[in-house]
Structures are given as structure tokens and as C-alpha cells.
Amino acid sequence: MKTEAALKQIVKEKYSEIALQDKETNMSSCCGAGECSTEIYNIMSDDYTSLKGYNADADLGLGCGLPTQFAKIKMGDVVIDLGSGAGNDCFIARHETGETGKVIGVDFTPKMIERARMNAEVRGFNNVEFREGDIEHMPITANVADVIVSNCVLNLVPNKDGVFKDIYRVLKPGGHFSISDVVLEGALPDGLRKDAEMYAGCVSGAIQKEVYLELIKSNGFENISIQKEKLIVIPDDILKNYLDAEQIQSFKSGNTGIFSITVYAKKPFTENVCKPGSGCC
């Protein structure tokens, strides 16, 4: 398995390329990575076009859910989008939080930041900003966010526990998150799990659903619930780039499932757990 630094560099390089691709190319592959399907498949993305605040120029077709639809954003909220890409979820969040709120997008790919800032500037969105940085070490002070959203990004980060720790740090007491992500039930075939392209394509970086939910719980969050869940089906003409015919048949007939889930959780108003490093345990 590649090191954490090597995996992050793979993702950064791939998403620098994706920042220059069109939505149709990204949606016909796996989060923009890998060979395009011979048919146009909407493999992971949900349809954003009916949501108020939607801007087609900012939609690269890279998501696996609609976290902003479920995020319970109110007027005046401070909202942070992790892995903000070209700004799609940020602009929808801006519609919900209004002129009195603020939206901050965090992304570690400079070309994505550049594209997102351009999209915000041409629309005169003065209360939306984009900051370059890792989402497990956000360039944001503690206890500032009312809501955090993210769309198909945490699966790309090797240190998922670190991300949830930083989400907890940045949320205000009583704040919450709504995150769409890819999770697994059962073990992926080695060809999918080990391939670097499939890591950048959201699949091989995914972890077991029960482990994902336990990470949220162990970091002190409460009121954890799955707001939406859907099965992700990868077509044969993409699978054949990573598996032979026998492996494809075994994968499709086995107990392994790849799912998109949208998860909600809340930071308590008061600390109800002993956090590591606090000195109480």
C-alpha cells in the first residue's frame, strides 16, 4: 500500500486534471478518474439542477450525494465545505445562508481553488471564500462553523480519523455536519483496492460503513443518522480496466457493496466525552 503522502499526491495530481475537465467527462467515470465508460453513466452523482443556488459552471459532476439538501442550513449560518472543488456546494449553501451568512470552501488542489474563486468573483459572491489546505488540518480557527458539508471527499483522505477530529474542532458547540461519502460493505477485490486510479476515483479509498460510523461516534459526535443511502454500480466497461472477466463476475455476484451515504451528526453543546489529550483520561 502506498504511503499517506503518496496517496495524497496522487489525488492532488488527478484532481488538478479534473479541474480542467467538463462535467460530462467526470460523470461518465468514477469521480472523474479512470477510463470513461462507453455509455454515459451517472455512476455516483445526484442531480443538483433543481436546488436553488445551483450554478452549472461550478458543477464538475464529482459528488456522490446532495449534502447541502440535507444540511439544515439557516439564514446567517457560517458554513464550511470540505473539498469544495469548483464551488458547487458552496454556492448552494450561500443561497441557504443568505447575505448575512458566510461560506468557506477548503480544498488542497490549487487549480480547484483557482476555478472556484473565478466562479465566485464573476457572480459577485462576496461572502463566499476559498482557502487552500488539507481538511484534516483546516486553515480555520476553532468553534466557528454552524454547519459543515462535504461531498465525496473524505474517502480520498487516508487519515479519516484526523478529518473527523478537525471537523469537531472547527464546529461550534451544537453545530452539525452533513457529509456524503462512499463506504463499503464487504471487501473490495485487490484490483480495485490497490489501483491508484481507483483511489483517486473514490472507490479504493473507501472504508467499511460500520468503521466509518464508529469513527464519527468515537470523536464525540451525537445524534448520528444516515440521511440517505444508495447503491453505486460500476459498469463492466470500467471494471474491466481493473479486473478480469472471472473477477468481475465474482465481484458482482458476491456480498460486496459500494454505497453512497449521507451522514448527519452533531457536536454536543457541552463536552460529554473525555477527548484524547485533554488530560482527563
127 CB neighbour count, 10 Å cutoff = 15
pLDDT at 192 over 60: yes
**Contact criterion met (CB below 8 Å) for 226 and 26:** no
pLDDT at 70 over 60: yes
**Contact criterion met (CB below 8 Å) for 261 and 209:** yes
pLDDT at 30 over 50: no
What is the per-residue DSSP string for 35-49? PPPSS----S----T
Record the pTM: 0.82
Q: All domains of the chain, ordered by start, with CATH? A: 4-234+255-265 (3.40.50.150)
Which grid cell sits at 250? Answer: 465474482
Residue 268's pLDDT is 97
Residue 217's pLDDT is 97
The pLDDT tens digits for 87-114 are: 999 999 999 999 999 999 999 989 999 9
Residue 45's pLDDT is 66
DSSP 76: T
Contact partners, residue 270, CB within 8 Å, separation at least 6: 173
Q: Partners of 79 in the beta sheet?
A: 103, 147
Main-chain dihedrals φ then ψ at residue 210, nearest 5 degrees = -65, -35
Mean pLDDT of the region 251-272:
87
The size of the chain, in residues, is 281
Between 208 and 41, the more confident residue is 208
**Contact criterion met (CB below 8 Å) for 224 and 217:** yes
The pLDDT tens digits for 127-176 are: 999 999 999 999 999 999 999 999 988 988 889 999 999 999 999 999 99
> Over the range 72-83, which residues count as b (16 or more CB within 10 Å of their CB) and which as e?
ebeeebbbbbbb
Give the span between the Cα atoms of 104 and 111, in whole angstroms.
17
Q: Are strands 171-185 and 257-266 parallel, antiparallel or unpaired?
A: antiparallel
Give the span between the Cα atoms of 23 and 20, in whole angstroms.
10
CA dihedral 224, 229, 235, 238 (to 10 degrees): -20
